[in-house]
Amino acid sequence: MTLRLAHRGDWRVGPENGLRALLAGATAPRSDGVEFDVLLAADGTPVVIHDADLRRVQGVDAAVAELTAAELAPYEVPALVTVLDALPSEAFLDVELKVRPNAEVARVLVGARGEEPERAVVSSFEPRALRALADMAPGWPRWLNVVALSDPVIAAARDLGCAGVSAEWHAVTPASVRLCRRAGLDLAAWTVRRRPTFDRLARLGVVAVCVEAAALDG
C-alpha cells in the first residue's frame, strides 16, 4: 500500500508545519501520516518550520536562527519535541531536515519513536544532514530528497546508506521505478495535489506520496 502523507500537515486549518495543521493532516480520514520540516532555533532547539524566516507564512520579518524556541512558539512554530509528543503513535512520519542536525534532534527523535522506528524516516536534500543523523541515530531510515532520478543520484543515495529516495513526482516513471528497485531503494514522491496523480504513482509502486488539498481528501 502506498502511504499518503500530509505535506507540512493540512495547512487549510492552520499555518503549515504548525501543530494544528500537523494534527489535522495526521488524523485526516485518508491520511497515513505527515511530512514536516526541521530547522534549529537560536538556542539550538529543533523547531518545525520550512523557511529560514517567518515572512512567507507568519508575515514576520525575522529569521528562525535569530529567535529562541520560546520566541517562535507564539507564531505557531512548534518545537520538534512538542510535535512528536502530540502526533498519534501510528502516524507515519517523514521528518525533513533543512539543516545539519545537532545532538538534540537525534535525542528527540529517538526518545519519541525509538532507535529503529518502523513508521518514521528522516529525509533531506543535504547529504551532510543525512550523514550526521546516521552517526547519531544509525537505526533511523533515511531518504535522500531529489528533484530528478538518475544513475548518479541512485549511487549517491546508496553511498549515503539511505533506505530510499524521495523524488519530485514528475520524475517518477516506470523506468525510474525500475532503477530504484534494482538498487534496492524505496521510492517516495512529492508533492501531489490531485487524486489521479496519487493513484498513478500508487500503481507504479511508490512507497509514499506527500500530498496536499484534493489528494489528501480523495
Query: Are β-strands 120-124 and 92-97 bridged in parallel, bridged antiparallel, or unpaired?
Result: parallel
Alpha helices in 18-126 (DSSP H): 19-27, 55-58, 69-72, 80-86, 103-113
Query: Are β-strands 186-192 and 164-168 bridged in parallel, bridged antiparallel, or unpaired?
Result: parallel
Percent of the chain with pLDDT over 70: 100
Per-residue pLDDT of 126-157, as tens digits, reads: 999 999 999 999 999 999 999 999 999 999 99
Which residues, 6+ apart, have CB-to-CB distance to 152 below 8 Å?
A: none
Task: State how far the alpha carbon of 126 is from the alpha carbons of 66, 81, 123, 131, 156, in Å.
Answer: 22, 22, 9, 9, 11
Per-residue pLDDT of 36-86, as tens digits, reads: 999 999 999 999 999 999 999 999 999 999 999 999 999 999 999 999 999
Looking at the 3D structure of the chain, how many domains does it have?
A: 1
The pLDDT of residue 211 is 98
In which domain, by residue range, is 139 found?
A: 3-217
Q: Can you give the pTM of this predicted structure? A: 0.97
Average pLDDT, rounded, for the chain: 97
Q: What is the CATH number of the domain that holds 59?
A: 3.20.20.190
Tell me the pLDDT band of 193, cut-offs 50, 70 and 90. Answer: very high
How many of the other CB atoms lie within 10 Å of CB of 190?
23
Alpha carbon distance 39, 47 (integer Å): 5
Asked if pLDDT for residue 163 goes beyond 90, the answer is: yes
The pLDDT of residue 218 is 74
State the maximum Cα–Cα separation within the chain, in Å, rounded to a whole number.
47
Phi/psi of residue 106, each to 5°?
-65, -40
